[in-house]
Structure 1
Amino acid sequence: MLTLHTAPVVRPTGDGEPVRDGAVLVDGELIAAVGALDELEEAYPRARVRRWPGVLVPGLVHAGPLAGDDPRGSVHQLLKAGVTAVAEPGGDPAVLEALSRSGLARGGGPRALVPGARADLAVFDGQGTCVATVLAGRLVHRRA
């Protein structure tokens, strides 16, 4: 199913030039297009539209070890913070199992919202709070 994730500001490279009233078109697990909302709505009229407040960016990368004694709870906290990848997961089998089940990507490096990339994105409000996290095209966190 095609889904347009829209926001007043979309930053395809996180800190690069923003797209005002932008959108990211997600097809399954991958990004199909990025651009102006009105153009993508016209090109894909059957796409479901999810409108988010704030700034839509590539998902964040967690650089340190997972905190806490509960790997599943730690993963949940990462998703609530807009994290879609873990740079160095370590070797704890419980942590690796929790990461595998969640679908969080492994590895650091820059992320970008570009066609063909895995659909990992996050949306932050004006106070820096994550309002939504999409992991491989699935909405895994939405602030109530």
Structure 2
Amino acid sequence: MRTLHTAPLLRRTVDEEPTADAAVLVDGDRIAAIGPTDELVRAYPGVRVRRWPGTLGPALLHDGPLPPAPTPRERVHALFRLGVGAVLAAQLTDPGLRAAAARNGVAVLDSPRPPALVPAGRADLAVFAADGACLATVVAGRLVHRRA
């Protein structure tokens, strides 16, 4: 199912200046399109629309040890609460932690690369409030965290 994620501000990379009233169309685990919200709503009638407050952008890469928690699953979910969608393989030496990351769709990278939203790329998105708090995280097209 296609989902259009929209927010008042969108940035394609972590360092890019945000643009106003833009959206990301997700189809399965991929980004199908990026553009002005109104244009994408017209181009895809009947698409499910998720309207987020804040700034929509790429999910982050976590390049250090995973946050402590009682179980591997909870350690992975602690990343989602930070807006993370990818980790470095070097941080997943524990088999249970690696399995939890795989079950939850976390991208495991051999080397760092800057997160970016690109058409046909993997749909790893995050929404951040003005104070930097993560409001929502989407990993491989699946909503995995939403702040209550």
What TM-score bracket applies, with the shorter chain setting the length? over 0.9
Tell me the amino acid that sits aligned with residue 74 of structure 1. R
Equivalent in 106, 117, 127 of residue 113 of structure 1 = 117
Say what the alpha-carbon RMSD is for the aligned residues. 1.1
Mapped partners of 1:42, 1:18: distance in 2: 22
* 8 Å CA contact 1:19, 1:36 repeated in 2: no
TM-score, length of structure 1 as denominator length: 0.95
Does residue 59 in structure 1 map to residue 59 in structure 2? Answer: yes
> Alignment length, in residue pairs?
144
In structure 2, the partner of 1:123 is 127
Is residue 19–residue 35 contact of structure 1 (8 Å, CA) maintained in 2? no
2-structure distance, mates of 1:143, 1:92: 28
What is the CA distance between 1:17 and its match in structure 2? Answer: 3.7
Displacement of 1:67: 3.0
Off by >6 Å, runs of 4+ in structure 1: none
Query: What pairs up with 1:63-142 in 2 under 5 angstroms?
Result: 63-68=63-68, 69-87=70-88, 88-107=90-109, 108-142=112-146
Report the alpha carbon displacement of residue 89 of structure 1 after superposing the two structures with TM: 2.7
Letter in 2 for 1:60: L
Compute the TM-score of the two structures, normalised by the length of structure 2: 0.93
Q: Deviations over 1:39-72 (max 9, x none)?
A: 1111111210000000001000111122325221
Partner Cα separation in structure 1 for residue 36 and residue 95 of structure 2: 43
Provide the secondary structure at the position in 2 that maps to 1:94: helix
Letter in 2 for 1:72: R
**Percent identity, aligned pairs only?**
58
Q: Which moved more, 1:116-125 or 1:13-22?
A: 13-22
CA contact (8 A) 2:67 2:78 kept: no
> What is the rounded CA distance, in whole Å, between the counterparts of 2:92 and 2:46 in structure 1?
42
Gaps of 5+ in 1: none
Superposition map of 1:39-58 within 5 A: 39-58=39-58
CA distance in 1: counterparts of 2:11 and 2:58, whole angstroms = 8
- AA of the residue aligned to 2:120: G
Q: Contact 1:23 / 1:36 at 8 angstroms: preserved in 2?
A: yes
Q: List gaps (5 residues or longer) in structure 2.
A: none
